[in-house]
Amino acid sequence: MNITQQIVNGLVLGSGYACIALGWTILLGVARLVNFAHGQLYMLGAFVTWFAMTKAALPYPLAILAAIVTLAIVGVLMQSVMMGLVMTQNLTSLMIVTLGLGYVLQGGSALLFGGNPQTLPGTLSRAKVDLGTLWFTWQDVLVLLATFVLYAAVWLFTKKTRFGSIIRAVAEDPKLAELFGINAKVVYLLVFVFECSAVALGAALVAPRSPILTSMGFNEVIMTFVVVVLGGIGSIGGALAAGLGLGLFIAFFGAFIAQAYTTAAAFAILLTLLVIRPAGLATK
């Protein structure tokens, strides 16, 4: 167990957490919505990628695209049925409804894809890079690079473009935004579709690392919660830093303390933080 290898592992894990959490950060921070089907959407993204590669024999980039498009459609459907609750900002019902829809996705995916564990075929995830005593795969490099590019793009988009300020206006006060001629429904729909597509991309990139099951997704949800709360709700830079930080912590905790209790350790961090700073680290 050498320290440098654990730092590499931590960055690899952390970029994965940050990548999966991006959609939720935007959804919660920018549009003030929650989605408890996030874990099941991650599962679905991974399975669509797997299906496209093994059954439809598509190359990896096209399979990623297929996952993004499928999840975008699922997002449009989900958001369309929930629009009434979204426009009235009924968070209590939204949480329960998304949980119910997540359960539907879980049952539906088990019917479609079967109950057996599958592995995503990946040439990149088998291609090892050895640097002396250090090692990682090209898939890890891809995840790290994609995460940085995505976060930079999203940050520029929400902070520097007119559409970014429109989204923030809708989150602040949907009724008022409509008075200024903004169609709040379309904005909410686009943000939700972005969340679904982002988690599909995250799943297609991260899932090749481990076997996939239709019952998975809980672990990813907890890590997403921790990243979003740790980073300060809605802070894009904060989420990236929190993702990498959490990855490093988990890598060291798993290597030196207990591999089986990594989720519990992440949860302990979340609880400690909530007691010290209830509104998150990045707030003033």
CB of 132 to other proteins, least distance (A): 34
**What DSSP string runs through 61-118?**
HHHHHHHHHHHHHHHHHHHHHHHHHHHTT-HHHHHHHHHHHHHHHHHHHHHHH-SS-B
For tokens 């990628």, the residue is 49
Rounded to the nearest 5 degrees, what angle is found at the Cα of 17, between the Cα atoms of 76 and 196?
5
CB of 150 to other proteins, least distance (A): 23
Residue 275 binds other proteins, judged by CB under 8 A: yes
CB of 115 to other proteins, least distance (A): 8
In our burial notation (b when 16+ CB lie closer than 10 A, e otherwise), range 4-24 reads eebebbbbbbbbbbbbbbbbb
CB of 258 to other proteins, least distance (A): 8
The SS3 of residue 129 is strand
Residue 284 binds other proteins, judged by CB under 8 A: no
Member of 222, 248, 255, 282 binding other proteins (CB under 8 A): 222
Residue 274 binds other proteins, judged by CB under 8 A: yes
Member of 101, 146, 212, 244 binding other proteins (CB under 8 A): 101
Interface with other proteins (CB under 8 A): 34, 36, 81-82, 84-85, 91-93, 95-97, 99-104, 106-108, 110-111, 218-219, 221-222, 225-226, 229, 260-261, 263-264, 267, 270-271, 274-275, 278-279
